[in-house]
Amino acid sequence: MSDPVIEHVDSLGVAYEIVACEPDLADTAAFCDAYGFGLDESANAIVVIGKSKPPVHVMCVVLADSRLDINHTVRKRLGVRKASFASADETVRLTSMEIGGVTPFGASTKLPVWIDARVMECERVIVGGGGRDRKLLLPPTTLTKLDSAEVVEGLATQSDAGEAPRPGS
């Protein structure tokens, strides 16, 4: 059976590691707790919808200890008056991936991928693997090999120490 996520990463010719996980532990905070990764080295792929006619979509990749600046940076870059997080159903429809495993690799719909500049400061980053049973560990430069990828300064802000990070996919 073909796997579009693994095929896509393999086609980039980069080193990566598949990190298996229990599906019940796929959500970012639980995964990091259980498998010893920091929120500052785990990146969430978040689909955003710009409310326009027709609607526009983008996938944003931000560290799990960050909050996506959807109301300013994302909205302005999309050129729309209003933007919001895509619903779980819409994210699944656009990516063909389970929530908890969404990744910019192998999505069924071509989406622009905006990567927060802080992600690029990591030595390695853990991202979704397309399903709830795995993640991918890779150098963040791998993300920039995507055709539609762009590193964006200020796409997200680091969460305050006491503030819970924005739930990610």
Q: Tens digit of pLDDT for each residue in 31-55?
A: 999 999 999 999 999 999 999 999 9
How far is it, in rounded angstroms, from Cα 79 to Cα 86?
Answer: 17
Q: Which residue's structure tokens are 């059976």?
A: 1
Residue 23 is given by DSSP the state G
- pLDDT on residue 167: 43
Q: Which residues of the chain have pLDDT under 50?
A: 161-169
What DSSP assignment string belongs to 70-134? IIIIIHHHHT-S-EEEPPHHHHHHHH---TT---SSS-SS---EEEEGGGGGSSSEEEE-SSTTE
Instruction: Supply the pLDDT for residue 44.
Output: 97
Question: Is the preceding omega at residue 140 within 30 degrees of 0, hence cis?
Answer: no
Q: What is the model's pLDDT at position 50? A: 95
Question: What domains are there in the chain, each with its CATH number?
Answer: 4-153 (3.90.960.10)
| Per-residue pLDDT, 1 | 64
**Alpha-carbon distance 139 to 121, whole Å?**
10
pLDDT at 165: 43
Residue 158: predicted pLDDT: 87
* Overall pTM surpassing 0.85 (yes/no): yes
- pLDDT at 169 (0 to 100): 42
